[in-house]
A and B are shown apart, each in its own frame.
Chain A
Amino acid sequence: MMAHALRLVYLVLVIAPVAVIIGATIPAIISDPGILNLLLPSGRRFDLLIHSLTLASLTALITTGFGFLVALALTTGRLSRWPSLRWFSLVLAALPPYVHVLVWTQALAWLTTTVSQQPLQPPPLQGLAIAVWVEIMAWLPLATALALIALVMLPRETIETARTYRRDFAVLTRIVLPLAAPMLMGAGCLIFVLALTNYEVPSLFSITTYSLEIFAEFSTSHEVARVALIAVPLLTIASIALAGMLMVIRRYSRISSQLNSGFGAIEWEWPPALNTTLIIALFVLAAQIFAPFLILILGSGSIHSVATSVAEARPEIIFSLIVAISAAMLAPPLAHAVSRRLDSAHILWWALAILPIVVPAPLVGIGMLKLVNAWAPLWLLDSLTLPIAVAVARFTPFAILVFSAGLGSQNSDDRDSIDAVRVFQPNPLKGWLKIRLRLMAPSYFAAAGLVFALSLGELSATLLVAPPGRSSLAIRIYNYLHYGASESVHGLCLAILTMTTMATFFVVRFINHQTRRATS
């Protein structure tokens, strides 16, 4: 009953805005069937799509490779003695891509002038290489997280048996990699989708992408139907990739139903070449974490100027925190309820879980606005309800991905507990709160942390629904970026970084606590 109600809320909050956009497109097609040509990219748009696919594939491939190497270094090297440390590779998971652009543009500019010792600045950074590098930095925490999950879940007994016959490197290539491959492929698919739908990073390095084409159409015609139709090819490709990812994660999680933390306890002996590669991977991780901290601290001037920037942005910080905390509280139960429907018999729910991830953010905002603007009372429109609703609409599907991995990994003891509760529970709500919720607590916290962090940086949809007189931190940062107020931008980005680091810290601490309780 409870799960049905939550799925209904999911349909209203997450699917209805998308349905409104589809509804607005149909009359436009009827009045001008010619616009259906936009569905099939041809000529220039086809080339652009291929170009975008190349960029996204390259990003996904390299990032997943780096993520695996970083995870391997954190679980099999000296650092494996501190298991909590490995999850801190995720502290920048939610740093918006535009902050990575800011950081790496400055870092590489400094590096090129210092290394070449030339007084003159080199030409502007542009092109595929720098765009791919910044995208790698933006998505590396995600790739590392999924690779860590893949390694931690490997069956220790199988590996130990194999090690008695062959050297460690052979075990890695013949046993570990094939077992971890499905999850790594899942990571690759997710990063592919994120890179494919992101226009900001490539655009800042003079690379045009298909997702920028969508925004160009917005600016040119302001017609939602045309924009929606142009977006369809991108949505289709991204949906197929995401469906593949979800299927892989669910199947893989079932195979590895016993969460096994023994992988890191094995004393691995790698050949020198692999050891060197792992050290390089750790350097990349260190650069990914420390460069943003360093550049933002140096660029923000003094503690006083950071304090001033934060004090001036207090209303926006409060707005963003309320929205992010509320979305983080609302999205996980909805995601949990939907993820329980994701098996092969419910193809429709698969589609409903995937579609909202790939719909461009402005369309989600416009859909939400169209949905409520005509009838909602003013007090509701003037409250933070709509910004929270769009955050839930945009990021609940990401929480579904977290639950998909979490649900599959429930072991037989968990399922026995649930069955026992079904018999003895005084009412379904108490049973849900006391047992199911506690069993799923790590997934809830991981999903909440992810939604919190993503909501904190949301811009495009919030812009369309923010109540008059209220504004978010991301909107303020973008305004300062345009103005060129470097110190304020650095100070506020540092504030975002601090908040996401704290969120990561609490989530990791809670998951560790829960794991220890479960083990004991």
Chain B
Amino acid sequence: MICTHINRTLLLTLVALILSLGCNGPSAPIVVVYTSVDQVYSEPILKHFAEISGVTVKPVFDVEAAKTTGLVQRLITEAGRPRADVFWNGEFAQTLMLAERGLLEAYRPSTSHDIPEAMKSSLWTAVGCRARVLLVNTNLVDDEVMPSTVAELLAPRFDSKRLGFANPLFGTTATHAAALAAIMGQHTASGFFQDLIDNGVHMADGNSSVRDLVASGRLHWGLTDTDDACQAINRGDPVRLVVPDQDGIGTLLIPGTVALINGATHPREAHVLIDYLVSKETEELLIASGCVQLSVRPGGKNAACLPDRPISAMDVDFNAVFAELESSRRSLLDIVHR
């Protein structure tokens, strides 16, 4: 009898908890943001916004391990009745894909006037920027043989089994491969990745794995993103960040992007949040926290972990990179998944 009573109480408590979590105050302004920016970086920024604006922020975070089957697929599935108001993306390719599918609505943030045209469109605006870089273990690679280009992943002077890159089917390495295809042509770009695999260069699961393998000394150096590289530097690992191809094609920049969702249920609050995320002050906060390392504004201050000189960026249009993405991935599937 007592047992039944306890069970009933437990059940009722659970049901009440499940449903009460779905109830909101009637008048509180709300904005729903889907973000693929790491929770450790995006959460404090969104909390700060909630404090200064009085708008309750309801975030949904993505994880890298879901291999982009997470939030982007959710946005596509919810298209008929969107739950998200804002999509804050850590890169640009998925944003362009959503734009192509008509899932974004035009909005020019009031704080974007000092951002160059290349870093914004009517549908999205850049929020800070990362770059593709080489992370080198300084205990294992001497200054005289320090690599300076991505192509040196194939240089015979290095032990290829001690070099690494992330799986080019996913994440920013997939974007990098598409950018190379846009510049050099699909055949040449695919050939480069074919050679990397044939030479036994280590293909890690993601950019953070490359970082950890280099930092621990299991790899001598590898290709990764500035956020991963700077984390290793900031935690005191024996590593150096090299911005590659500064005398050649330049390095690929990966701007974060923010966009208004088509049919957003809280458009006014969404505009306020987008204005906040795009602002110069937020960009400075994001750079200070390690979320992004480069300012998208001319003359903007970059992160301290980057070399104190201008960075030569790859001269490639983001739309061209996106246009190459699917064919590049299909081509790489034949190389990587054998």
Q: Do A and B come from one complex?
A: yes
B338 at the interface (CB under 8 A from A): yes
A382–B21 CB distance below 8 A: yes
Beyond A44-B337, A459-B65, 10 additional contacts (C-beta under 8 Å) are A121-B216, A204-B209, A215-B69, A220-B330, A322-B21, A383-B21, A384-B18, A483-B208, A484-B211, A484-B235
Which secondary structure characterizes the binding site on chain A? helix
A464 at the interface (CB under 8 A from B): yes
B59–A218 CB distance below 8 A: no
Q: How far is the CA of A378 from the CA of B218 in the complex (A)?
A: 50
Residues of chain B from 110 to 164 with CB closer than 8 A to chain A in the complex = 140, 161-162, 164
Of the 9-residue stretches A75-83, A175-183, A471-479, which lies at the interface with chain B? Answer: A471-479
Partner of B40, one of A126, A464, A480: A480
A56 at the interface (CB under 8 A from B): no
Of the 9-residue stretches B78-86, B185-193, B239-247, B312-320, which lies at the interface with chain A? Answer: B78-86
Please list the residues of chain A having a beta carbon within 8 angstroms of any beta carbon in chain B: 44-45, 47-48, 98, 109, 120-124, 126, 200, 203-204, 206, 208, 212-213, 215-216, 218-222, 322, 325-326, 329, 362, 366, 369-370, 373-374, 378-385, 388, 459-460, 463-464, 466-471, 475-476, 478-485
**A-contact bits for B215-253, CB 8 A (1 contact / 0 none):** 011110000000010011001000000000000000000
The 3 closest A-B pairs by CB, nearest first: A383-B22, A469-B58, A468-B58
Complex A-B: 25 CB contacts under 8 Å? A48-B338, A109-B216, A124-B202, A206-B202, A215-B69, A218-B67, A218-B69, A219-B68, A222-B73, A362-B73, A374-B80, A381-B83, A383-B20, A388-B18, A464-B74, A467-B21, A467-B58, A468-B58, A468-B59, A469-B59, A471-B60, A471-B61, A479-B40, A484-B208, A484-B232
Q: Which residues of B contact A388 (CB under 8 A)?
A: 18
Given A123-B162, A216-B329, A383-B38 contact (CB < 8 Å): no
B22–A467 CB distance below 8 A: yes
Q: Which residues of A contact B270 (CB under 8 A)?
A: none
Pick the most buried of B21, B83, B161, B208: most chain A CB atoms within 10 A of its CB. B21
Residues of chain B from 162 to 208 with CB closer than 8 A to chain A in the complex = 162, 164, 167, 169-170, 174, 202-206, 208
User: In this complex, what residue of A is CB-closest to B7?
Assistant: A329
B70 at the interface (CB under 8 A from A): yes
User: In this complex, what residue of B is CB-closest to A122?
Assistant: B218
Q: Which residues of B contact A109 (CB under 8 A)?
A: 216, 218
Q: How far is the CA of A383 from the CA of B22 in the complex (A)?
A: 4
Q: How far is the CA of A91 from the CA of B26 in the complex (A)?
A: 45
Q: Which residues of B contact A480 (CB under 8 A)?
A: 40
B105 at the interface (CB under 8 A from A): no
Given A219-B329, A468-B60, A482-B38, A326-B66 contact (CB < 8 Å): no
Given A379-B23, A467-B21, A48-B14 contact (CB < 8 Å): no
Q: How far is the CA of A464 from the CA of B72 in the complex (A)?
A: 9
A292: shortest Cβ distance to chain B, in Å? 19
B283 at the interface (CB under 8 A from A): no
